[in-house]
Structure 1
Amino acid sequence: MWRSLASNMFTVLVVGMFLAAGVILWGQSQYTAEGPLDQAICLRVKTGSNMGQVSKELEKTGAVSNGTIFRLGADYSDKANQLKAGSFLINERSSMEQIVEQITKGGASTCGTEIVYRIGVTRLQTQIRELDPGTERFVELAAFDPSAEDVPAVYGEKRAERDTRYRIAVAEGVTSWQIVEGLKALDLLEGNVTEVPDEGMLAPDSYEVSPGTQRGAVLAQMQEKQELRINAVWESRQDGLPLANPEEMLILASIIEKETGLAGERGQVASVFTNRLNQGMKLQTDPTVIYGITKGQGVLGRGLRRSELRRITPWNTYLIDGLPPTPIANPGLASLEAAVAPDETDYIFFVADGTGGHAFAETLQEHNRNVAKWREIEAERNNN
């Protein structure tokens, strides 16, 4: 009898072990299998949340089929205590394993709200935008001048959310003074700036920041990036350029930056100035004259007067030979690259063509025809 009972108990134990193993294998397959989510979502994990709360939220949104398996999988992989607060983009069909990895790996939000502080050539703008998980594109919620008194309520609401991300976007062609004034206008940042960095030495780019970031630290980051760019681009320069050092390259790049905003034209514009320098011709470029008037502190906001074209300043390239003494703005990487790798052309003239671009010419006769066309376009626009 006892032998029979023991045999039966052993059989039950074996069967139980096989069943348990089967359940474990089934759970593992569920944990790593493609998930049920048919459209991407933005999962917000609040500070202080745990895997149990997150699993309930994922079950409610249909991102996981079984919250218990999700929690057990996170425990088994030793990631249950690595949960990060933030907003995370959960792509369609993400497995439980992939979701756990997404919400524990770093802590940097991948969706939700982003506030972008844009420092442009003609204006400052604060843009509040939110990622649409379905399209993975940002939708603008509001945009305003950060120096304005009327600030939309949504700005304060999003600033209060801990997972909101912040970014400063600096446009190509802004001056160092404009960047410093732009940083001063941002209430997100702290610290005083006592000196304006040298013209041209701040890299136009996008910079991640957080509340309380020091303005000086942002400027230092911009300077470091620009120095790295200058050194790398100078090392890649073509032979035979009329540029003696990286400083002259930076000056030329800043002129190219201010003369055209079209990517496809930078090489041609660079070729004009390179040809002029090689032939000993004056550069005769309006943006340098404007810089001599404004010193980079704001925009002129009107056309140049004839008297200003004749005014003697160190930057008036209608009067001086060669390059001006300093850059006239902060050039982006593409303009730096154009300065050391200009297109091979015989162009020595260019003028606006009415489409946002320029008409280039090799001879003065051809250039005069292009200028006449531009004058006709200007007159027609003024009459409308």
Structure 2
Amino acid sequence: MTWRRVCGLVATAAVVLAIAGSVIWFKGRERFERPGPLRAETIVNVPLGSGLDAIAMLLEKDGVIEDERIFRVGVRIVGKARSLKAGEYAFPAGVSMRDAMNVLASGATVVRRLTIAEGLTSREAVALIDAAEGLEGEVDTVPPEGSLLPETYHYRRGDSRQDIVKRMRVARDDMLSELWAVRAEKLPIKTPEEALVLASIVEKETGIPDERGLVAGVFVNRLRKGMRLQSDPTVTYGLTLGERPLGRNLTRNDLKKPTPYNTYVIDGLPPSPIANVGRAALEAVLNPVKTSYLYFVADGTGGHAFAKSLKEHNRNVAKWRKIKKAGSK
């Protein structure tokens, strides 16, 4: 075989290999970039320290990609083998291998939400924190009543439960300082802590936004006149200390039972809040509606009937009792 013949064969083989390589690359690239097998959004948690091989196996196992080998090769060719980050990621339906790679390289992990509703006790709030999926560690101790700000908090998998509590306490402190600075003049409330106590009572008395300012106005009027607040939620808290639901209606004996929180028995405010307070309730207490009302009672619609005199109040109470009686039949 002549040298020219050998060179020709080598050249032909090189062309064939180049064509074959191009075909393989084209098909591999097409598979790397085409829509994948996912039928619905899927969340995958990539453990800390996972390398490309482990990530590829995990994605195939969870159905995000169809072939871990093509994923590995594609990621290496693109030059992002060391750019993939650990964390919890949401992959959309039909995500391609290339887009899955970009999701992992972005570091945009799933953001979770934890909502603490206004009026929950600290023990109830901690129970929600304990149950929140993705948080780690334990809450050291139940925080003091009223020290947390009810709000929706965002977090990522692996965040600390204790850090969430810290964020809630800092947020409450910031809110209290902000609103105390713009309070109305001549309130019968001497300290930010007293404002928090009264706001917690307003929080438990009504869940209707338009009523908060009016309920706060009633309590402010009673404090100014030296009248007892006579708030049922304070009686309940005195019996349970926020550790459990009362599980029954209050009785006449309950209203007479002396506790530091029973505002039918004590003068002025209880020694501490009876729940955690939202912004609206604290704003209502620090800038209450100006009113002549001194009393209120449930009206059967979810709201309250307000009165300026005891005589008028007693009529409203009688109406409420009739409604309760009819509802119990």
Q: Is TM > 0.5 for Structure 1 vs Structure 2?
A: yes
% same residue: 40
Provide the secondary structure at the position in 2 that maps to 1:317. coil
* 8 Å contact from structure 1 (residues 84, 107) kept in 2: no
Q: CA deviation at 1:91?
A: 3.7
Confirm or deny: 8 A CA contact 2:88 2:110 kept in the other structure.
Answer: yes
The separation in 2 between residues aligned to 1:34 and 1:241, in whole angstroms, is: 67
Q: Which runs of 5+ in 1 are unaligned?
A: 1-15, 112-166
The aligned counterpart of 2:170 is: 224
User: Once the two structures are superposed, what CA deviation does each residue of 1:82-118 show, in whole Å capped at 9, x if it has no partner?
Assistant: 323455333468677654332222263469xxxxxxx
Counterpart of 2:106 in structure 1 is: 105
* CA contact 1:85–1:107 (8 Å) conserved in 2: no
Instruction: Confirm whether residue 297 of structure 1 aligns to residue 243 of structure 2.
Output: yes
Residue aligning to 1:254 = 200
Matches within 5 A, 1:113-262: 170-177=116-123, 189-190=137-138, 193=141, 197-205=143-151, 208=155, 213=160, 219-235=165-181, 237-240=182-185, 242=187, 243-262=189-208
Q: Which of these residues, 312, 317, 321, is aligned with residue 263 of structure 2?
A: 317
Alpha-carbon spacing, 1:324–1:72, altered in 2? closer, same or farther (3 Å): same
CA distance change for structure 1 residues 179 and 375 in 2, over 3 Å: closer, same or farther?
same
Question: Structure 1 residue 369: deviation in Å?
Answer: 3.5
Q: 1:271 to 1:80 in 2, by over 3 A?
A: farther
Given that 2:198 and 2:285 are in contact with CA atoms closer than 8 Å, whether structure 1 keeps it comes out as: yes
Verify: 1:308 aligned to 2:251, yes or no: no
1:290 shift after superposition: 2.5
Distance 1:251 1:98 in 2: 52
User: 1:360 is matched by which residue type in structure 2?
Assistant: A
Partners of 1:350 and 1:358 within 8 A in 2: no
CA distances 1:121-146 after superposition (whole Å, capped 9, x unpaired): xxxxxxxxxxxxxxxxxxxxxxxxxx
Give the whole-Å Cα distance in 1 for the aligned partners of 2:123 and 2:111.
33
Is 2:89–2:104's contact at 8 Å kept on the other side of the alignment? Answer: yes
Asked if 2 retains the 8 angstrom alpha-carbon contact of 1:183 and 1:189, the reply is no
| Separation of aligned partners in 2, 1:285 and 1:333 | 21
Q: Give 1:251 shift.
A: 0.7
Tell me by how many angstroms 1:188 deviates.
Answer: 6.5
Greater Cα offset, 335-344 or 65-74 = 65-74
Residue 89 of structure 2 aligns to a residue in which SS?
Answer: strand
- Return the offset for 1:170: 4.2
Kindly indicate whether residue 280 of structure 2 is the aligned counterpart of residue 334 of structure 1: yes
CA distance in 2, matches of 1:366, 1:102: 65
Give 1 or 2: higher helix fraction. 2
In 1: Cα distance, 2:69 partner to 2:138 partner: 45
Q: CA 1:106/1:378 → structure 2, altered by over 3 Å: closer, same or farther? A: same
The answer for the alignment partner of 2:90 in structure 1 is 89
Select 1:359's aligned residue among 304, 308, 326.
Answer: 304
Give the whole-Å Cα distance in 2 for the aligned partners of 1:276 and 1:285: 11
- What TM-score do you get using the length of structure 1 for normalisation? 0.59
- Shift in Å, 1:78: 4.7
- Native 8 Å contact 1:88 1:110 kept in 2: no
Higher RCO by CA contacts (8 Å cutoff, separation 6 or greater): 2
- Alpha-carbon distance in 2 for matches of 1:191, 1:266: 32
Larger Rg: 2
- Give, as a single letter, the amino acid of the residue that structure 2 aligns with 1:358: G
What is the distance in 2 between the residues matched to 1:305 and 1:331? 26
- Which residue identity lines up with residue 327 of structure 2 in the other structure? R
Between the aligned partners of 2:290 and 2:69, the Cα distance in structure 1 is 67
- The answer to which of 37-46 and 328-337 deviates more is 37-46
- Does the CA-based 8 Å contact 1:55-1:71 persist in structure 2? no
Q: Equivalences for 1:39-58 in 2 at 5 Å?
A: 40-42=41-43, 48=50, 49=53
Aligned residues: 311
Q: Which residue of 2 aligns with 1:158?
A: none
Contact conserved, 2:87 with 2:107, CA < 8 A, in 1? no
Change (3 A) 1:344 1:360: farther
Residue 295 of structure 1 aligns with an amino acid whose one-letter code is L
Aligned partners of 1:36 and 1:65 also within 8 Å? yes
SS of 1:276's partner is helix
Relative to structure 1, is the Cα distance of residues 99 and 335 closer, same or farther in structure 2, using a 3 angstrom cutoff? farther
Native 8 Å contact 2:118 2:278 kept in 1: yes
1:284–1:317 Cα contact (<8 Å) kept: yes
Distance 2:290 2:140 in 1: 46
Q: Distance in 2 between matches of 1:239 and 1:227?
A: 19
Distance 1:191 1:324 in 2: 27
